[in-house]
Structure 1
């Protein structure tokens, strides 16, 4: 038995309920872990992604964002799937700018509707609309309704996943006293999933603001492991982020912790 296996088994005993996946379950659960790297996989999941971003402006303020991100696939026909991805942010921040103190509240919700062929010959692609809902509190909302196109293309082979997701949102209605929304989001990503359902990944979540002509681009390095809690499969992970570009007095670095509940068919 290797040292890593001994450590995993000791952690399982300490937790009582959590057990790393054993040899008999490796193949099927490695496939599930690989599906988590595919944003439009036919797999219902509920990720909880906690982000800590640090060092805004001269006061080195901080922000914590909990993104609740349910992913629900639907078979709309024998040939097409619809994957609905929703991002619900809950935010706490302090001293992120000279005019901001401490605040907590809900951010604006983003929802994407991806139409993807159920069989794509090895190359997965999806297109559809993305919508922005002004659900946030006054400190965290653009106060604008938004809409635009979204697209994704990826390839998976021998545990590797690589591709890119992109969308653009324009404001279409809302508070006329607020600035219009005109944002392009581009997320290239690459990951590798081992036979023991461990996934190591890197991605860039780059946003270009056409109003300010500036990029915000954190580079994320992550690792996650698929576990069983009783009969419930859960992916636990974490990582660090470094901002390759930031808009104005944006953050310099950050960290991320993820908990994803899986509901395979």
Structure 2
């Protein structure tokens, strides 16, 4: 499909081979901890490269997509932050079903806002709630739902002194406008996650990115395993992440497995 494994391997090797000073290692560890927190006060621009294979009734379809996911925290009061998380998918897919051919372009954008207290709870938990909005921005009929959608989103998590991060993120989207000829949307997204810091900005993680389609009464449940490292490219702080996923549950025509590489630009407060 494309030379996806070469940049993956090159960046992974680069991230493993970086030698950090003690000061940089400490800074990298702090950034890695914030990256494991979806509502941390850290401006970042993740670019998530995904490849799924085994799609369609004959298992011969595939999809490559890049999610550009800027995260922008804003202090709105002495006690509260607002965190904007946007997902902009750029998709290339082939043979999703017999006769479908190939499509390339922009998918539907998902915009989420989390309102989160700056202080932790007495037990060390942090949380955020807010709205999520689905925008019908797809440039091809087969790349989007052609529906406006919205609903609530929330996240809760805890980070321990021993380097563990665990919690869950979720949302529910209902369609409320759009093309009457397209199916309505009622979908719940649940993402429990667990990660462990290995020191020097390195992290291993596992998550389930499960979606339940209430209209089709169908789960899609991929499990993702990943390894990441905070590093530098010149003066720019970045994070590399590589991983694989396997679909524990999917529609008959859904994907069977996939790979992921994420390159994230980091902009910590100075």
Structure 1-normalised TM-score?
Answer: 0.92
Specify the alignment match of 2:35 in structure 1.
36
Aligned counterpart, 1:125? 127
Deviates most, 251-260 or 117-126: 117-126
SS of 1:139's equivalent?
A: helix
SS of 1:194's equivalent? strand
Q: How many residues align structurally?
A: 252
Helix, strand or coil for the counterpart of 1:207? strand
Rounded Cα–Cα distance in structure 2 between residues aligned with 1:193 and 1:214? 34
Deviation at 1:19, TM superposition (A): 4.0
Match of 2:265 in 1: 261
Where in structure 2 are the equivalents of 1:7-86 lying within 5 Å? 19-57=18-56, 58-86=58-86
Matches for 1:118-197 after TM superposition, within 5 Å: 118-121=118-121, 122-137=124-139, 138-157=141-160, 158-197=162-201
CA offsets 1:159-201 (integer angstroms, 9 cap, x no match): 1100000100000111111110111000000001122110100
SS for the counterpart of 1:35 is helix
- Hey, what's the Cα distance between the residues in 1 that align with 2:207 and 2:113? 21
CA–CA distance in 1 between the matches of 2:18 and 2:175?
46
In the TM superposition, what is the alpha-carbon distance from 1:211 to its structure 2 partner?
0.7
Instruction: Determine if contact 1:146/1:170 at 8 Å carries over to the other structure.
Output: yes
Preserved CA contact (<8 Å) 1:108 1:134:
yes
Quote the offset at 1:59 in angstroms. 4.4
| 2:95–2:101 CA contact under 8 A, matched in 1 | yes
CA distance in 2, matches of 1:22, 1:65: 36
**Which segments of 5 or more consecutive residues in structure 2 lack a partner in the other structure?**
1-9
Of 247, 252, 255, 1:251 maps to: 255
Give how far 1:28 is off: 2.1
Counterpart for residue 210 of structure 1 = 214
Whether the aligned pair in 2 keeps the contact of 1:209 and 1:215 (CA below 8 Å) is yes
Q: How far off its partner does 1:75 sit?
A: 0.2
Q: Structure 1 residue 231: deviation in Å? A: 1.4
**1:88 and 2:92 correspond:** no
Query: For 1:120-143, what per-residue CA distance to the aligned partner results, in whole angstroms no more than 9, with x for missing partners?
Result: 232010000000000012221111
The secondary structure found in structure 1 opposite 2:143 is coil
CA distance in 2, matches of 1:251, 1:60: 10
- Which range moves more in the overlay, 52-61 or 164-173? 52-61
Partner SS state of residue 110, structure 2:
strand
Residues 37 and 161, structure 1, Cα contact 8 Å, conserved in 2? yes
**Cα RMSD after superposing both structures:** 1.6
Whole-angstrom CA distance in 2 between matches of 1:23 and 1:145: 49
TM-score normalised according to structure 2 size: 0.90
Report if the CA contact (8 A) 2:59-2:253 is conserved. Answer: no
